[in-house]
């Protein structure tokens, strides 16, 4: 899945299932420093291929996050080997894993995680939709969110009644 051989992450549509499966793993990240952030990079276009997983590496583990469809989100720990091969569903895209390539996230490298939250958006007349996962740092914040079937990075926490934050 997501162009990675033998990768079968669990796809989530609500926060409670993520917490049930990975709450303890997320809690263990608090107090650790972000060491590297890996993304799929389109070699021909020289840009981030934001349909692929975002991998956040820590001293002893990594978390893999990826928006999927408009209201689903893939979460896994320690399942993707980087650098490794990427083949996007049989296309001829020239994709490679690149470390710390996203300038928007350079500030996060070597910063300590002080809190983690799952972000949901409140919808009128329907269930809340899963938006992403946010990381509070000792000096800053970022989230990997669903930008309508692709990953999107926010460096500022969205505020307002439309958003619901579940602290882990």
The DSSP element (H or E) to which 22 belongs, if any, is: helix 15-29
Residue 40 tokens read as 């799929």
Contact between 50 and 147 under an 8 Å Cβ cutoff? The reply is: yes
Write down the pLDDT at residue 71. Answer: 76
Tell me the pTM.
0.90
The two beta strands, 62-68 and 72-77, are antiparallel
Query: How confident is the model over 78-126, as pLDDT tens digits?
Result: 988 887 777 776 678 888 999 999 999 999 999 999 999 998 887 776 6
Structural domain spans, the chain: 10-167
Residue 136 structure tokens: 């509070």
């Amino acid at each position: 899945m997501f162009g990675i051989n033998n990768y079968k992450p669990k796809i989530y549509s609500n926060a409670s299932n993520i917490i049930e499966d990975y709450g303890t793993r997320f809690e263990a990240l608090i107090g650790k420093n972000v060491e590297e952030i890996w993304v799929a990079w389109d070699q021909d276009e020289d840009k981030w291929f934001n349909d692929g997983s975002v991998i956040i590496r820590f001293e002893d583990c990594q978390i893999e996050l990826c928006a999927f469809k408009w209201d689903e989100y893939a979460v896994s720990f320690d399942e993707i080997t980087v650098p490794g091969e990427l083949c996007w569903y049989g296309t001829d895209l020239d994709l490679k894993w690149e470390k710390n390539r996203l300038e928007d996230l350079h500030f996060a490298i070597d910063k300590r995680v002080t809190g983690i939250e799952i972000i949901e958006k409140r919808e009128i007349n329907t269930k809340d939709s899963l938006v992403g996962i946010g990381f509070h740092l000792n000096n800053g914040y970022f989230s990997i969110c669903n930008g309508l079937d692709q990953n999107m990075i926010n460096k500022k926490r969205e505020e307002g009644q439309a958003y619901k934050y579940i602290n882990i």
